[in-house]
Amino acid sequence: MRQAVPLPMERWPAPRLVATLRHYGRRAWRWWRVIAESRAGLARPAPGRRRVLVVRLDAIGDFVLWSGAARVLRDWLGPDTHVTLAANASWADLARDADIADEVWPVRRDSLEWDGAYRSQVRARVAGGRFAMAINPRFTREMIFGDSIMRWSRAPERIGWRGEGHLLPVRERRWADGWYTRLVESSAETLHETERNAEFLHALGVPMDGVPRPSLVVYYRPLEGLDGLRTGYFVVFPGASLAEKRWAPTNFAAVARHIQQQTGWTPVLLGERADAPMTAAVAAEVPGAIDLAGRTSVAVLASAIQRARLVVSNDTSAVHLAAATGVPAVCVVGGWQWKRFVPYPASLGEVAERVDVVSMESDMACFNCNWHCVQPRVAGETIPCVSRVPRARVVEAVDRVLSRLTVAELHG
């Protein structure tokens, strides 16, 4: 009798079945959690200054792109309004530095999703705020995060985007839409995130000229390894939140060596703790590189980037931090949400000029796929529109940036 030959692991249905069960298990947990939460009526606004809650729990790059619109919103609400910002805890310190709210409440996303006791604490604090108005300016809403906080506020006026449903399935949207008193309709055209933020402000009736430009107030924060440098330095950020977005470390190493040879600057590798294998791979190929991955908070990262001469990165927060702090950046990017985050639109003026984008847009017709990749690929590996970006194009972009710098900027 012929012996059965086991199938390779990637052909077994079990991993996909487990992933599917985990996905629907998470969804069921979310529904159970939200259903169990109280449905109290409207809050009675606190006496005195009008209290307004603004909710942003998304990533650091989203916050940076919103920073200009946040200042416009704060000015429009006026000094007689007490503004509370419910902020992602990872970048709450930057929000305090930016002076865009009277009060910043840090919220830990992971705990809000999975820790029932923490979620109850946040719900009680929000419900006790006695807000007259709550605003959720995020275009891509999430029921378990921003939408829930809007619901808990019980504010008589609760305004948000109808937005797009990338993170909000149809059934969740139908339910969560009812937690708002007003949903802003968006235009159908593809807009950069800063232009979308301006569209939201216009819908609120905020008078303004043009698109608010991202800008950050970043205070100096020391970082061991940088403060004693006698030369300028440039930042290489080879990590990304998703493995699919990561250009190869060997490519970043080659570009770093080129910059080093052209300028004499010290290469500094930054990233989160999870990025350490990638930064270590780059450091191994670049003499004199300083690897600081996993040693910075977002506020320290912003301070380190602000003092850099140049940033070279995947499509990550490092690019937006550079642009908002006046540092030129070269960004390797694919086509998953082309023009929503990068490249920057001309409407941002000098901020847009700081970001040189390198992509395969002219070589691949499938750009702007919204993560519906049609190219042959292996799950969990870099997608083709990133992996195929040639080193030579990135080096050309770096040379363009260097050619725009003055002698003092190059050697000062």
180 lies in the same domain as 259 = no
Q: 78-84 long-range contacts, Cβ below 8 Å, gap at least 24?
A: 80/49, 80/50, 81/49, 81/50, 81/51, 81/52, 82/49, 82/50, 82/51, 82/52, 83/52, 83/54, 84/51, 84/52, 84/53, 84/54, 84/129, 84/131
190 lies in the same domain as 72 = yes
Per-residue model confidence as pLDDT tens digits over 364-393:
999 989 888 888 888 788 999 999 999 999
Question: Is 115 inside a domain boundary?
Answer: yes
Q: Which two tokens stand for residue 118?
A: 């923490």
pLDDT, residue 2, reads 41
159 lies in the same domain as 239 = no
Domain count along the chain:
2
Question: Is 154 inside a domain boundary?
Answer: yes
198 lies in the same domain as 240 = no
pLDDT exceeds cutoff 90 at 341? yes
pLDDT, residue 43, reads 78
146 lies in the same domain as 250 = no
182 lies in the same domain as 74 = yes
pLDDT exceeds cutoff 90 at 221? yes
Mean pLDDT of 1-9: 43
272 lies in the same domain as 200 = no
Nearest residue to 137 via CA among 168, 95, 182, 175: 182
Which of the four pLDDT bands, split at 50, 70 and 90, describes residue 409?
confident
Average pLDDT taken over every residue of the chain: 91
Please, which residues have CB within 8 angstroms of residue 278's CB and are 6 or more apart in sequence?
238, 239, 246, 249, 252, 271, 293
Which is more confident, 58 or 411?
Answer: 58
241 lies in the same domain as 352 = yes
- Using alpha carbons, list the distances in angstroms from residue 53 to 135, 194, 360: 6, 21, 41
Residues in the chain: 412
User: Where residue 192 sits, what CATH number does that domain have?
Assistant: 3.40.50.2000
Angle, CA 24 vertex, CA 23 and CA 30 arms, to 5°: 95
The DSSP secondary structure of 107-162, one letter per residue, reads E-HHHHHH-HHHHHHHHHHHHTT--SEEEE--SB--IIIIIHHHHHH--SEEEEE-
Nearest residue to 52 via CA among 43, 60, 61: 43
Mean pLDDT of 319-332: 97
Q: What is this structure's pTM?
A: 0.91
In the chain the first and final C-alpha atoms are separated, in Å, by 79
Nearest residue to 58 via CA among 219, 196, 220, 205: 196
pLDDT exceeds cutoff 50 at 3? no
382 Cα distance to chain centroid: 19
114 Cα distance to chain centroid: 21
pLDDT exceeds cutoff 50 at 92? yes
Percentage of the chain exceeding pLDDT 70: 93
Phi and psi, residue 72, nearest 5°: -65, -45
Are 238 and 282 within 8 A, CB to CB? yes
Question: Is 25 inside a domain boundary?
Answer: no
pLDDT, residue 24, reads 65
How far apart CA 147 and CA 136 sit, in angstroms, is 8
- Only one residue has tokens 């703790």, namely 273
Question: Is 74 inside a domain boundary?
Answer: yes
How far apart CA 199 and CA 188 sit, in angstroms, is 12
Lowest mean pLDDT among 239-248, 377-386, 401-410: 401-410
Per-residue model confidence as pLDDT tens digits over 180-212:
999 999 998 989 999 999 999 999 999 998 999
Question: Is 220 inside a domain boundary?
Answer: no
What letter would DSSP give residue 49?
S
Which is more confident, 374 or 26?
Answer: 374
Chosen domain end from 187, 204, 221:
204
Are 57 and 107 within 8 A, CB to CB? yes
- Only one residue has tokens 């940076």, namely 64
> Quick count: other Cβ atoms within 10 Å of Cβ 308?
25
How far apart CA 9 and CA 268 sit, in angstroms, is 39
Question: Is 34 inside a domain boundary?
Answer: no
129 lies in the same domain as 69 = yes
66 lies in the same domain as 172 = yes
Question: Is 173 inside a domain boundary?
Answer: yes
Q: 107-116 long-range contacts, Cβ below 8 Å, gap at least 24?
A: 107/57, 107/149, 109/57, 109/145, 112/57, 112/144, 112/145, 112/148, 113/30, 113/144, 113/145, 116/33
The DSSP secondary structure of 260-287, one letter per residue, reads HHHH-PEEEE---GGGHHHHHHHHTTST
Per-residue model confidence as pLDDT tens digits over 35-54:
778 666 787 888 889 999 99
Question: Is 217 inside a domain boundary?
Answer: no
How far apart CA 191 and CA 100 sit, in angstroms, is 24
What type of residue sits at position 366? C
Helix (H, G, I), strand (E, B) or coil at 233: strand
135 lies in the same domain as 188 = yes
Range of the domain at 191: 50-204
144 lies in the same domain as 279 = no
Are 34 and 172 within 8 A, CB to CB? no
Nearest residue to 372 via CA among 388, 358, 385: 385
Lowest mean pLDDT among 26-35, 278-287, 310-319, 347-356: 26-35
Please, which residues have CB within 8 angstroms of residue 6's CB and are 6 or more apart in sequence?
none
